[in-house]
Amino acid sequence: MSQDGTSQFQEVILYQKILQKYNHCCVKIYTFNQRRYLRINKESLLPVAQDVSYLGENTEAWYPPGHGDIYASFYNSGLLDTFIGEGKEYSFVSNIDNLGVTVDLYILNHLMNPPNGKCCEFVMEVTNKTRADVKGKTLTQYEGKLRLVEIAQVPKAHVDEFKSVSKFKIFNINHLWISPAAIKRLQEQNAIDMEIMVNAKTLDGGLIVIQLETAVGAAIESFENSLGINVPRSHFLLVKTTSDLLLVMSNLYSLNAGSLTMSKKWAFPTVPLVKLGSSFTKVQDYLRRFESIPDILELDHLTVSGDVTFGKNV
């Protein structure tokens, strides 16, 4: 699901075109829309649609309320009941920008054959933190329930402690195994509890708006027998920036049977830390600055700033 309201509708059209390529496959692909909410003017605390310049279907007046909206949208679409009726016992949820997504059959076997006989309604995959993940959401236990904690919830006096890789060693990669029957039960009881995050954004023209959003993993405390499972780092390959894209396009990875696998020549447990400057922010600028993607199999850390280009065979 899109997190950027201004490009949400363009992305839907793009995804539809991509899905058309798989019409010949024997796997049925279902889609559903998440809900949209009105952005709030930070000054007046009124919907920006009150402003004449944002009337009608102007996409800047609307935003998707975060991926925590999946529960209500899944339920309202009717697909949840369809899957329950077909006997499906678990739904696997992941972010579209994580290219390391893997359906781990060991986890599925654990869910279907729990060693203690207690069925888990919610499983969250986590992995070990690196220097690049110090702000990642982590799991804590409070009053007998697992809870997801993010940096925005941490008092300033404890932020450095939260970022400590030695104290908080794991973070949520948003690979979730959730019982559809449990989602249905909690939706009908209005019992899915997720903390609302206030996200401020500046629109074109300088208008500052407020978006109220929720995160899908924050619902972990609402489910019974929730569990966090530490998985290999290979399950997490997020591409949000061109710095991430450089790693994926490099000889550090290869594409095998639809999955990105790390080179056997890479001898370290974590990936290199790459920080490309503002000249590389846009994909078209990034591609123009590399005649070929550098060999990074010996790389530890790369920071690039300024008007830099790379030649061939670096």
Could you tell me the CA-to-CA distances from 304 to 244, 278, 313 in Å, in that order? Answer: 13, 9, 17
pLDDT at 51: 55
Are residues 199 and 117 part of one domain?
A: yes
Contact 135, 191 (CB under 8 A): no
User: What would the pLDDT profile of 155-169 be if each residue is shown by its tens digit?
Assistant: 788 787 777 777 788
More confident residue, 8 or 279: 279
Could you tell me what percent of the chain has a pLDDT over 90? 48
Q: Based on the domain organization, do 105 and 222 belong to the same domain?
A: yes
Asked if residue 53 is part of any domain, the answer here is: yes
Hey, which of 13-27, 28-42, 81-95 has the most confident mean pLDDT?
Answer: 81-95
User: What is the full DSSP assignment across 105-139?
Assistant: HHHHHHHHS-TTSPPPSEEEEEEE--GGGTTS-EE
Q: Can you give the CATH number for the domain in which 292 is found?
A: 2.160.10.10
Record the pTM.
0.80
Least confident of 74-78, 153-157, 195-199, 308-312: 153-157
Q: pLDDT digits over 187-204, tens only?
A: 999 999 998 888 888 887
Total domains, the chain: 2
Are residues 208 and 94 part of one domain? yes
Give the Cβ contact number of residue 61 at 10 Å. Answer: 22
Bridge partners of 290?
A: 310
Highest mean pLDDT pick, 54-58, 222-226, 230-234: 222-226
Average pLDDT over residues 89-106: 90
Q: Which residues contact 24 (CB under 8 A, 6 or more apart)?
A: none
Is 207 inside any structural domain?
A: yes
Kindly tell me if the per-residue pLDDT of 4 is higher than 50: no
- Residue 156 belongs to what H/E stretch? none
Q: Domain of residue 208: give its range.
A: 5-235
pLDDT band at 2; cut points 50, 70, 90 = very low
The confidence score (pLDDT) of residue 176 equals 96
Is there a single domain that holds both residue 231 and residue 247?
no
Identity at 5, one-letter amino acid code: G
Residues 43 and 18 reside in one and the same domain? yes
Indicate if 156 and 266 belong to the same structural domain: no
Q: Which pLDDT value is given to residue 11?
A: 67
pLDDT (0 to 100) of residue 139: 84
Per-residue pLDDT, 33: 87
Residues 109-113, mean pLDDT to the nearest whole number: 93
Tell me, yes or no, whether 74 and 124 share the same domain: yes
Would the pLDDT of 152 be above 50? yes
Q: Distances in Å between the alpha carbon of 311 and those of 275, 300, 307?
A: 18, 20, 14
Distances in whole angstroms, Cα of residue 258 to Cα of each of 4, 133, 171, 254, 264: 27, 26, 26, 10, 18
Q: Which of 169, 240, 275, 282 is catalytic?
A: 240
User: Per the domain annotation, does 230 fall within a domain?
Assistant: yes
The whole-angstrom separation of Cα 3 and Cα 67 is 8
* 246 pLDDT above the threshold of 90: yes
- Kindly calculate the radius of gyration of the chain based on its CA atoms and give it in whole angstroms: 21
- pLDDT over 80 at 115, yes or no: yes
Residues 62 and 203 in one domain: yes
On whether residue 61 sits in a domain, the answer given is: yes
8 A C-beta contact, residue 84 and residue 188: no
Q: 310: which DSSP letter?
A: B
pLDDT at 81 over 90: yes
Cα–Cα distance list, 229 to 55, 97, 161, 177, 226 (Å)? 46, 21, 23, 11, 10
Summarize the confidence of residues 40-57 as an average pLDDT: 72
Lowest mean pLDDT among 17-31, 182-196, 207-221, 239-253: 17-31
240 is catalytic: yes
